[in-house]
Amino acid sequence: MDDLIDGVGIDAKHSFQEGVSPISESKERWGGRIALLGGVDVNKLASFPPQELRRYVRRVIDTGSPGGRFAVGAGNSIPSYIPVENYLTMLDEALR
């Protein structure tokens, strides 16, 4: 990743999910050098009840946003099995 940032010059990376690359680790390693996009685990987006999802999304935002260079969103594309209510909950919490 350092070669991509320093050599190629990427300035952002998408796809942060808890089981692969948690936002907390990525923020610590690269947050001062590139923008981080995503952070909300798709499995949690699909399965958490709305109130639990809201608290989870808030933790992701609070972890990723200090210092800027962060845009909250799904750690992957939004598949059709994501409940609409959960997707809207994520968006609503992001707008708060």
- Per the confidence metrics, is the pTM higher than 0.75? yes
Q: What pLDDT is stored for residue 76 in this prediction?
A: 84
Q: What ranges make up the beta strands (E) of the chain?
A: 12-14, 35-40, 70-74
Q: What pLDDT is stored for residue 20 in this prediction?
A: 78
Domain boundaries, the chain: 2-95
d(CA 8, CA 17): 24
Q: What pLDDT is stored for residue 21 in this prediction?
A: 80
Tens of pLDDT along 24-76?
899 999 999 999 999 999 999 999 999 999 999 999 999 999 999 999 999 88
